[in-house]
Each structure stands twice: as C-alpha cells, then as structure tokens.
Amino acid sequence: MEQANFGPLDIWRTMGTMGHAVLIFLLLMSVYSYFVMFERYIAMRNARKQSMQFVQAAKKILPQGDMDLLFDEVKKYPRSHLARVYAAAIVDFWDYRQHPETEKFEQTMSRAVEREGITVVQELKRGLAGLASIGSTAPFVGLFGTVIGIMNAFFAMARAGQGGIGTVSGGIAEALVNTAVGLFVALPAVWGFNYFLTRVERFSVEMTTTGSELVDYFSKRFGSMTWKSAAADR
C-alpha cells in the first residue's frame, strides 16, 4: 500500500478552496499582529528613552523656574509621554498668567494634564484592540476551517461509497491543520496584547504621578510673592 504523505505542501495541495481561504486569512491576521507588536514596541521604547532623557534635563531647569526654557526642552522630545504632560502644564500656566483673575488654577492645570494623559494613553493603545480581536477570534476562524474540512472529508467518503477510518483520516488530519494554525496565530497576539497593555498602564501611572507633581510645583512656586512678581514681569 502506498504510504500517504502529510507534509505542508502535500496538505496544501489536498485542501479545498475554503481551507485555502481560511489559511490565507489566518496568515494575514498573523502578519498584522506581528506588525502591530513590532510597531508598538518601537514606539514605546522611544517613549521610554526620550522620557528618561527629558527628565534628566528637566531636573536642571525646574529649580530655575524658567518655563520658556523648559518648554523649549519639551519640544526636543516629541515622543516622550512625560514631556507632553509637562507641555500641557506649562501651556495651562501661561494661560493663567494671561488671565490671572481665574481662580484655583490648580484645578484647571490638573484637568489639563489629565486630558493630555488620556490622549497619550489612547495613542499608546493604537493597534492593541486589533491584537485582542485576533487573539480571541483566530481559534474560531481555524475551527471554522476544520469543520468545513471534516464535512468535505465525509462528503468525499459518501461519494466514494467506502467507509472506515482510513478513508477519512487523511481529510480529518488536513482539516485539523486549520485549528492548529488558528491557535498558533492567537497565542502570540494574546501574549503581545497583555504585555503592551501592562506597559501602557505603567506609562499612565507615570503620567499621573508627574502631573500631580507638576501641579504641586506650580502651586508652591506661584504661591510666593516672588514668583508672582517674576511671572507678571515675563
């Protein structure tokens, strides 16, 4: 009896049109998920790197109280999530300086940095919803291909008029490939989603803490008469 071959190319040749379509769709899902993971990794790495550089520079400027110089420094790090929080606080302070009659600028500054933090978090999450969708749906897409493949195997057995496990075993094995590929696509997507979501939450905590510290900084500096005079002269 001729030995059956079940290599990747042999399985591909014996699969039907629907099985091919399912595998191609899963391949596209896999390519997209890896693209998102690579792009998000680069974006978050740049955000981390630029934020560390910015914090070191900001520590030298904050004691001087020179907001113009600090804002110039902010513009050097466009990908830093912490620099963007600083920018929101500085712009709000400049607005208050132009309208000093506004009461409780601490509340307005807190809202400004909170809004900027929410915006940054949403930008950092870009593409993660796609990863979650792929992680949750890829196994079902593979299962759909498997069901279709098994149905085709039984239909082929009925047309041939032969029974027995040997008649359908090859078709069932080919059909199960879709399920295996679906799981293979889903697992990295789920891992990637959880990893990047954890990093985004960490960035969110850093921005919240930094925003609170900035509000306290401006509140203390602006509370002194010397700072008020210096701000009025600018």
61 domain residue, yes or no: yes
pLDDT attached to residue 1? 39
**CA-based nearest residue to 177, from 14, 29, 34:** 14
Sorted by sequence, the CB contacts under 8 Å of residue 78 that are 6+ apart come out as: 50
Token code pair at residue 226? 């010397």
Cβ(19)–Cβ(178) below 8 Å: yes
38 domain residue, yes or no: yes
20 domain residue, yes or no: yes
Burial code (b: 16+ CB inside 10 Å, e: under 16) for 28-38 equals: ebbebbeebbe
88 domain residue, yes or no: yes
39 domain residue, yes or no: yes
Residue-by-residue pLDDT tens, the chain, 234 positions: 344 455 556 566 666 677 788 888 999 999 999 999 999 999 999 999 999 999 999 988 888 888 889 899 999 999 999 999 999 998 888 887 776 655 577 788 888 899 999 999 999 999 999 999 999 999 999 888 888 877 777 776 676 666 556 556 666 767 788 888 899 999 999 999 999 999 999 999 999 999 998 888 888 776 554 445 544 554
176 domain residue, yes or no: yes
Give residue 154's domain range: 8-233
Residue given tokens 């930094």 in the structure block: 210
Residue given tokens 């409780």 in the structure block: 104
pLDDT attached to residue 103? 58
2 domain residue, yes or no: no
pLDDT attached to residue 148? 80
Q: How far apart are the C-alpha atoms of 28 and 18, rounded to whole Å? A: 15
- Provide the domain count of the chain: 1
* pTM, entire model: 0.80
29 domain residue, yes or no: yes
Cβ(203)–Cβ(124) below 8 Å: yes
